[in-house]
């Protein structure tokens, strides 16, 4: 039997067998009536007749506290308290998932041969000691794990990075994470805005655990999984699901913990819906704690996770990473300035740092500190380094911010006054015979320059109406270039021909979905 051979092979390597999930186990089936239907994401097309589908269930005692039922062909499990309610629960969960299946999948289940429970006898060496906790001392080659994930920490770099991999001012969170990962053995989700420092905190935690575990000869290892690599690890349909099982076995051999930088990708990778995703493949192992995951996610991503796959979301301990207060941020920026001075011999002037902070706070509300500040200053340090200079000053901050944001210097530099005559002349020279439009555009510029607009909303929403040839497109281009013409890389206007999106089903091409971004999202990211 293949299972017996695989378990024996794993035992020879690691000195242990997987933990038995059920203490006592039984097999049963019930027939569920469903009405198969096809779907094109907009409409459902039901077949004419109902069919009865046998749903097989493995159930039994897990421990003294609860019993569990597994529906293996639906990749689903649930807990129950009374055998009298078991059939009703199987019927409820089975009908829910079967009604979402395509007809061909349903008919495959009908044609499946009747399964049975088998007993596998495994041999154990009486005096053998497990080397599970010392696997980090043995150099191993993993068939799947090494292909789809990178071990962290890797080889230590000789040169100091401009953006340091250091979690300053976060020791309280790091200590909490270490306790949850090592003592509680929980799967963890660190939740926070882009730039708040989720990756740095997790990397600092993993480094600290790795260093400590090597000294104690425990040998925890961390592996950064790339979900797409797991999908492409097999040549044939369904092979990645088999590779997932191998991946989990190899993680157990390596005493490994999986690190995923964007956990939402587990839901959007694998199949048409979450029930066919990588997250669904991981679900049983997370439930029986043979797999431990640490991940990062945004608040919006956590909402998406809870709404679309609550069974998966509830298996994670949530650690919120809040933005630092201004006082703590200023201390952190001083540490970064000292780090750059010491390791790269480049001085960031205090006035330059204050200017960068003010601009980023005002014009980049969708990213969080300290990430957006460290990344921006790091970009400026790179420019200075490439030019063989030694100082980052205010002029460079203004220049680089204008290039990155596209905003003209008149909007970001308080010392540059807005010349009203020149402003009006600028629009009158380029927009001919449209006095009302000119007045609206100049008024909008004045409001933005004085800072009276709401920074949490778009600068303005305008609709230009009129027959062909009167200057609607030209007015839009002139206004866009006046505001965002500071960038040398892209023209500051995204233009769409809305005739391409006349029908409801074509809206997908414009906005996309969680798996594939549409034209609008792609252009905004560019």
Q: What is the pLDDT of residues 36-53, one digit of tens each?
A: 877 655 556 677 778 899
CB of 205 within 8 A of CB of 181? Answer: yes
Token pair, residue 148, equals: 């789809």
Name the band, by pLDDT with cuts 50, 70 and 90, for residue 215.
low
- Cα(76)–Cα(107) distance, rounded to whole angstroms? 19
- Portion of the chain with pLDDT greater than 90, in percent: 51
CB of 173 within 8 A of CB of 139? Answer: no
Name the band, by pLDDT with cuts 50, 70 and 90, for residue 235.
low
CB of 29 within 8 A of CB of 54? Answer: yes
Q: Give the CATH superfamily of 144-320.
A: P-loop containing nucleotide triphosphate hydrolases (3.40.50.300)
Mean pLDDT is lowest, of 61-70, 163-172, 326-335, 352-361, for 61-70
pLDDT tens track for 163-186: 888 899 999 999 999 999 988 889
Token pair, residue 487, equals: 């960038």
Token pair, residue 496, equals: 């769409």
Mean pLDDT of 208-216: 79
Whether the pLDDT of residue 485 is over 80: the answer is yes
Q: List where CATH 1.10.8 sits in the chain.
A: 326-405
The strand pairing partners of 152, in sequence order, are: 222
Mean pLDDT is lowest, of 62-66, 154-158, 405-409, 451-455, for 154-158
Whether the pLDDT of residue 134 is over 50: the answer is no
Q: How many Cα neighbours within 13 Å face the side chain of 254?
A: 27
68 CB-near residues (< 8 Å, 6+ apart): 21, 22, 59, 60, 62, 77, 78, 79, 80
Domain 326-405, architecture per CATH: Orthogonal Bundle (1.10)
CB of 194 within 8 A of CB of 371? Answer: yes
Q: List where CATH 3.40.50.300 sits in the chain.
A: 144-320
In what helix (H) or strand (E) does residue 445 lie, and over which residues does it extend? helix 435-450
Q: Which pTM was predicted?
A: 0.69
- Cα(490)–Cα(526) distance, rounded to whole angstroms? 9
Name the band, by pLDDT with cuts 50, 70 and 90, for residue 158.
low
Q: For the chain, how many residues are written?
A: 526
Q: List the one residue out of 415, 410, 423 whose CA is nearest residue 485.
A: 410
Return the pLDDT at 135.
Answer: 44
Q: How far is CA 84 from CA 25, 87, 500, in A?
A: 16, 7, 57
Q: How far is CA 434 from CA 11, 169, 330, 476, 477, in A?
A: 82, 56, 49, 13, 14
Return the pLDDT at 138.
Answer: 45
Token pair, residue 394, equals: 């205010």
Mean pLDDT of 334-340: 96
Return the pLDDT at 397.
Answer: 97
Name the band, by pLDDT with cuts 50, 70 and 90, for residue 132.
very low
Q: How far is CA 322 from the centre of its chain?
A: 18
Which of 160-164, 270-274, 309-313 reaches the highest mean pLDDT? 309-313
Name the band, by pLDDT with cuts 50, 70 and 90, for residue 515.
low
Mean pLDDT is lowest, of 216-225, 238-247, 431-440, for 216-225
Token pair, residue 454, equals: 């709401």
**Quick one: CA dihedral 131, 136, 141, 146, positive or negative?**
positive
Q: How many Cα neighbours within 13 Å face the side chain of 490?
A: 14
Mean pLDDT of 321-344: 95
Mean pLDDT is lowest, of 293-302, 384-393, 457-466, for 457-466
Name the band, by pLDDT with cuts 50, 70 and 90, for residue 19.
low
Cis previous bond, 153, omega within 30? yes
Q: List the one residue out of 358, 383, 380 whose CA is nearest residue 369.
A: 358
**Quick one: CA dihedral 175, 177, 180, 182, positive or negative?**
negative
Name the band, by pLDDT with cuts 50, 70 and 90, for residue 109.
confident
Return the pLDDT at 21.
Answer: 67
Return the pLDDT at 20.
Answer: 63
- Cα(210)–Cα(151) distance, rounded to whole angstroms? 11
Return the pLDDT at 344.
Answer: 94
- Cα(427)–Cα(436) distance, rounded to whole angstroms? 11
- Cα(414)–Cα(393) distance, rounded to whole angstroms? 17
Mean of all residue pLDDT scores within the chain: 86
Mean pLDDT of 290-309: 94
Whether the pLDDT of residue 145 is over 50: the answer is yes
Buried b (16+ CB within 10 A) or exposed e, 95-131: eebbeebebeebeebeeeeeeeeeeeeeeeeeeeeee
């Amino acid at each position: 039997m293949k299972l017996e051979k695989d378990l024996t092979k794993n035992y020879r390597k690691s000195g242990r067998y997987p933990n038995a999930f059920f203490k006592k186990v039984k097999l049963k089936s019930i027939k569920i009536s469903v009405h198969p239907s096809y779907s094109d994401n907009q409409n459902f097309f039901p077949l004419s007749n109902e069919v009865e589908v046998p749903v097989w269930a493995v159930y039994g005692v897990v421990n003294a506290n609860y019993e569990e039922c597994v529906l293996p062909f639906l990749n689903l499990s649930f807990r129950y308290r009374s055998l009298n309610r078991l059939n009703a629960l199987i019927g409820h969960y089975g009908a829910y998932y079967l009604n979402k299946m395509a007809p061909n999948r349903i008919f495959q289940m009908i044609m499946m041969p009747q399964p049975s429970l088998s007993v596998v006898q495994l041999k154990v060496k009486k005096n053998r000691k497990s080397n599970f906790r010392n696997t980090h001392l043995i150099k191993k080659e993993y068939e799947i794990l090494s292909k789809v994930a990178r071990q962290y920490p890797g080889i230590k770099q000789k040169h100091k990075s401009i953006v340091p991999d250091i979690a300053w001012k976060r020791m309280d969170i790091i200590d909490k994470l270490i306790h949850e990962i090592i003592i509680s053995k929980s799967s963890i989700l660190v939740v926070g805005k882009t730039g708040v420092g989720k990756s740095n905190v997790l990397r600092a935690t993993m480094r600290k655990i790795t260093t400590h575990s090597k000294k104690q000869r425990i040998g925890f290892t961390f592996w950064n999984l790339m979900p797409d690599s797991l999908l492409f690890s097999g040549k044939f349909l369904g092979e990645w699901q088999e590779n997932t099982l191998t991946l989990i076995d190899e993680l157990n051999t390596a005493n490994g913990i999986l690190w995923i930088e964007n956990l939402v990708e587990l839901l959007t990778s694998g199949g048409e819906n979450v029930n066919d995703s990588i997250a669904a493949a991981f679900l049983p192992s997370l439930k029986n704690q043979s797999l431990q995951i640490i991940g990062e996610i945004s608040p919006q991503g956590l909402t998406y996770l809870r709404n679309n796959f609550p069974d998966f979301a509830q298996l994670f301990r949530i650690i919120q990473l809040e933005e630092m207060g201004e006082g703590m941020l200023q201390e952190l920026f001083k540490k970064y300035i000292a780090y750059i001075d010491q390791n790269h011999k480049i001085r960031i002037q205090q006035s330059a740092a204050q200017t960068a902070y003010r601009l980023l706070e005002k014009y980049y509300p969708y990213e969080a500190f300290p990430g957006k500040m460290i990344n921006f200053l790091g970009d400026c340090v790179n420019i200075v380094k490439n030019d063989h200079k030694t100082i980052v000053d205010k002029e460079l901050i203004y220049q680089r911010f204008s290039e990155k944001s596209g905003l003209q210097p008149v909007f970001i530099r308080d010392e540059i006054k807005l010349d009203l005559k020149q402003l009006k002349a600028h629009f009158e020279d380029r927009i001919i015979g449209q006095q009302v439009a000119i007045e609206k555009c100049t008024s909008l510029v004045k409001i933005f320059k004085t800072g009276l607009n709401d920074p949490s909303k778009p600068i303005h929403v305008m609709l230009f109406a009129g027959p062909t040839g009167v200057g609607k497109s030209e007015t839009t281009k002139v206004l866009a270039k006046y505001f965002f013409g500071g960038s040398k890389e892209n023209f500051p206007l995204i233009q769409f021909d809305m005739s391409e999106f006349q029908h409801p089903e074509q809206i997908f091409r414009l906005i996309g979905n969680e798996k594939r971004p549409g034209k609008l999202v792609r252009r905004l990211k560019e």
